[in-house]
Amino acid sequence: MSEALHVHHGEAITHESHHDEHHGHHQETFISKYVFSMDHKTIGKQFLITGIIWAIIGGLFSVLFRLQLGYPDQSFPILETFFGHWAKGGQIQPEFYYGLVTMHGTVLVFFVLTAGLSGTFANLLIPLQIGARDMASPFLNMLSYWFFFLASIVMLSSIFIHTGPASGGWTMYPPLSALRQAGEGQRLGTDLWLISMALFIVSSLLGGLNYISTILNMRTKGMSMTRMPLTIWAMFFTAVLGVLSFPVLLSGAILLLFDRNLGTSFYLSDIVINGEILPNEGGSAILYQHLFWFLGHPEVYIILLPAMGMVSEILSVNSRKPIFGYMAMLGSLFAICILAFLVWAHHMFVTGLNPFLGSVFVLLTLLIAVPSAIKVFNWLTTLWRGNIRFTPASLFAIGFVSLFISGGLTGIFLGNSTIDIHLHDTMFVVAHFHIVMGVASFFGMFAGVYHWFPKMFGRYLNNTLGYIHFWVTMVGSYLIFWPMHYQGLAGIPRRYLDKKGWSSFNQFGDLDKMITVVSIIVFAVQLMFVFNFFYSIFKGRKVTTTNPWGANTLEWTTPIRPGHGNWEGEIPEVHRWPYDYGKDGREFIPQTEPVGENESKH
Amino acid sequence: MNTVGMETKNRMHPHKFTLWVAIASIVMMFAGLTSAFIVKSNQANWKPVTLPKVFWVSTAVILLSSLAIQMAIRSFKQRNMSQYRMLITATLVLGVVFVALQWMGFNELWEQRVTFKGAGAGQFLYVIFGLHALHVIGGVVALAVMLLRAFTGNTKTYTSTPVEVAATYWHFVDLLWIYLLVFFLVIGG
């Protein structure tokens, strides 16, 4: 009986797989191919292009508030033309400034560096690199994108309403965010923000579920876990972090919605606003911070890990050397993943956290330096004496390592609760997280786009524009964020739109002007990249070989423009790990090649 | 294609696996809410809540529904389709009854002046039990889809995976309810 059942089960699965294969040969309409597509590659491109649009919006916002910070006295009439009463007399109004800062943070953290980054590359690379025809559930995958799209629409609409977008900061701390009376942005804008985030969380969960289950269940024959490229490992840990931490943010957001709209007191207590005494009592604003940062801290690794994974892969391919310390890379990813859940309160050192508890979190926070240092060491030793090809992708990957080191070192300052008493809420914090998480992840993302563009569109990005893009962005990022460390050490607070009140900060006036000018240049260069991206989709140099980078991983065994189902014949079998570069006198040995008899061990 | 079939033979079906990950995710959400409850119960002006009796009835109902869906799997595997359809219908009806009973419980509490004013366990109860009920409704919708398929069966399916996935989810919301009930009895009371 058990025998019979067994066979039966096998049949059921082959039946399903056949069904999947037939899918590829169906007559596809424009709608099913490009709009409501269930092909993981198309969904990845949808995430990428939506992410690019959001990145332009979020980047533009930062240019606008940098104008205010660099030139607080100057009037820009053009701003009034575009933004009306938000920029009365050509000057950015305080409410608008806070709206811009909030939206810049929300958009870049969630919509660009979460959905745009792991949405793009997890979708594109997971099935291709593990040897699967599609995700475990292509339908959920499609839903994941469309929930993200809905979240985008809601968030975008909040920018165009009369009272303006949410302006309580991207962390949305109550009581500010919980009280309608607190400001214009705390009205409809904040409700739309919360609804949009709820939709976004659903999108990320659907995506994450799929990534995990695909990686664990759909690998091709021979693809054991330790033969997976590090990109896939990074995407796996990213998805685990997301699936376990986003629901907690959702519960925090639901309680906030209740406080805002139904008069509960989860976060509110003893508040007097505009002379009015509110009835709320017994709430705890710190409770929200705990719930928020329980997601918020894993979130920075959700942003960073995919970049780390792609950088590992790209560095190895382009230095024509095996990745140094594959198992150490895995171990450190795992350690980061665990620690990510245990350090959230370091965001709350000065918000009334018990100092003893604080010291525990200091220890756990500084522990992250260990796996991070292991990773940096391994990247550098991978590059060491390599035969490096300086493609735009590998330059961005090297740039990532540079930024990760610089930004990581300042993290050691901020991780100490005592130093944090001085540094919290200053420009030092802004400089730290922008370098280590924002710009570094962007570099990982750019590296990924330059490297896998040929796989996505069958064409190359323009290299010259790529080099200009890299050098201007690299130099520009340091010029923008490095000086902010000095500002922060001197005590300049973040989130202030005008520092004229402190005469001691006047000495930084020219520095602020310089930062503003550089950020405008860097923003312009990003627009050039966007031009390069869209131009190359249609007019770029055509890819003529299936494996343009001489890489070992499975995605380069597919046709140049793979259809739905990825491989035309059978899915290839895997015989070795993905990092056999420069071995036994051969430049690279693809994963599909059986291990020879006299081959040396790696 | 054969390679994939051979490879996946001894593994868990991907859909089942996905469900388990989803369950972990839902658990985190309720863990977040119940730990928020614990944190807040130490604040000033905390008012505990006494659970209305009707929640005991709903507990019995959801336990019965779990039993029904478990029997539904068995009859599906024995190809006893009429019994299968009946049992799925029973599960679905019991699920709807459960949600209705929860609603009655909420009304009863509201009449006892456990409202959104002030602070206390009552507010958490509405949010937590409400979210749980939403998860049950999600299960009811899934069952309704399955029932529709079972009645209009123009495609012959022999795999019991969808039923098993639905049943696992159903048992999960059942267990989750037991946890929440015990939580409110022990810590909320």
C-alpha closest to that of A437 among A462, A419, A467, A410: A410
Decide if A137 touches B, using CB distance below 8 A. Answer: yes
What pLDDT, on a 0 to 100 scale, did the predictor assign at position A67?
94
Instruction: Output the CA–CA distances (angstroms, integers) from residue A240 to A110, A135, A212, A456, A600, in the order listed.
Output: 16, 16, 7, 26, 36
Bridge partners for A542 per DSSP:
A459
Report the C-alpha gap between A52 and A445 in whole angstroms. 11
B:9-28 residues touching chain A, CB 8 A cutoff:
9, 11-15, 17-18, 21-22, 24-26, 28
pLDDT above 90: residue B146: no
> pLDDT for A347-374, tens place per residue?
999 988 888 999 999 999 999 999 999 9
Which is it for strands A276-277 and A272-273: parallel, antiparallel or unpaired? antiparallel
Decide if B131 touches A, using CB distance below 8 A. Answer: yes
Number of Cβ atoms within 10 Å of the Cβ of A29? 10
Pick the CATH number of A37-577 from 3.90.650.10, 3.30.70.100, 1.20.210.10, 3.30.950.10: 1.20.210.10
Q: What is the average pLDDT across B134-145?
A: 94
A254 vs chain B: nearest CA distance in angstroms? Answer: 8
A256 vs chain B: nearest CA distance in angstroms? Answer: 11
Q: HSE, CB side, 13 Å, CA atoms: give it for residue B188.
A: 26
What pLDDT, on a 0 to 100 scale, did the predictor assign at position A18?
41
Among the residue ranges A454-468, B9-23, B26-40, B92-106, the one predicted with the least confidence is: B9-23
- A223-260 core/surface letters (b: 16 or more CB in 10 A; e: else): beeebbbbbbbbbbbbbbbbbbbbbbbbbbbbbbbbbb
Containing A142, the helix (H) or strand (E) segment is helix A138-159
Q: Residues A602, A159: contact at Cβ < 8 Å?
A: no
Report the C-alpha gap between A562 and A127 in whole angstroms. 12
Decide if B113 touches A, using CB distance below 8 A. Answer: no
Decide if A219 touches B, using CB distance below 8 A. Answer: yes
Total number of domains in chain B:
1
CB neighbours of A450 closer than 8 A, spacing ≥ 6? A391, A392, A393, A396, A461, A466
A40 vs chain B: nearest CA distance in angstroms? Answer: 16
Of A10, A213, A269, the CB nearest to B5: A10
| Residue A76, Cβ density class (10 Å: 0-12 exposed, 13-18 middle, ≥19 buried) | middle
Report the C-alpha gap between A472 and A480 in whole angstroms. 12
What pLDDT, on a 0 to 100 scale, did the predictor assign at position A602?
60
The pTM of the full predicted model, rounded to 2 decimals, is 0.92
C-alpha closest to that of B27 among A469, A556, A248: A248
B:68-87 residues touching chain A, CB 8 A cutoff:
none
A422 vs chain B: nearest CA distance in angstroms? Answer: 29
Residues of chain A with pLDDT under 70: 1-28, 602
> What pLDDT band is residue B11 in, cutting at 50, 70 and 90?
low
Residue whose pair of structure tokens reads 């990845």 in the numeric block = A44
> What pLDDT band is residue B80 in, cutting at 50, 70 and 90?
confident
Residues of A in contact with B34 (CB under 8 A): none
Q: Residues A180, A186: contact at Cβ < 8 Å?
A: yes
Q: Where are the domains of chain A?
A: 37-577
Q: In the structure encoding, which two tokens stand for residue A255, read together?
A: 């309680």
What pLDDT, on a 0 to 100 scale, did the predictor assign at position A500?
84
Crossing angle of the two packed helices B121-151 and B14-41, in degrees rounded to 10: 160
What pLDDT, on a 0 to 100 scale, did the predictor assign at position B154?
60
| Residue A39, Cβ density class (10 Å: 0-12 exposed, 13-18 middle, ≥19 buried) | buried
What pLDDT, on a 0 to 100 scale, did the predictor assign at position A261?
92
C-beta atoms of B11 and A571 within 8 A? no
Report the C-alpha gap between A323 and A445 in whole angstroms. 19
Residues of B in contact with A248 (CB under 8 A): 28-29, 31-32
Dihedral sign (CA A126, A131, A133, A136): negative
Instruction: Read off the CATH number of the domain in which B118 is found.
Output: 1.20.120.80
B13 vs chain A: nearest CA distance in angstroms? Answer: 8
Q: In the structure encoding, which two tokens stand for residue A118, read together?
A: 């792991």
Q: In the structure encoding, which two tokens stand for residue A410, read together?
A: 């300042």
Report the C-alpha gap between A286 and A357 in whole angstroms. 14
What pLDDT, on a 0 to 100 scale, did the predictor assign at position A27?
63
* Domain of residue B17, residue span: 2-41+48-186
Which is it for strands A581-583 and A276-277: parallel, antiparallel or unpaired? unpaired
A:187-216 residues touching chain B, CB 8 A cutoff:
205, 208-210, 212-214, 216
Report the C-alpha gap between A70 and A498 in whole angstroms. 9
C-beta atoms of B17 and A205 within 8 A? no
ipTM, interface predicted TM-score of the complex = 0.90
What pLDDT, on a 0 to 100 scale, did the predictor assign at position B10?
55
What pLDDT, on a 0 to 100 scale, did the predictor assign at position B41?
85
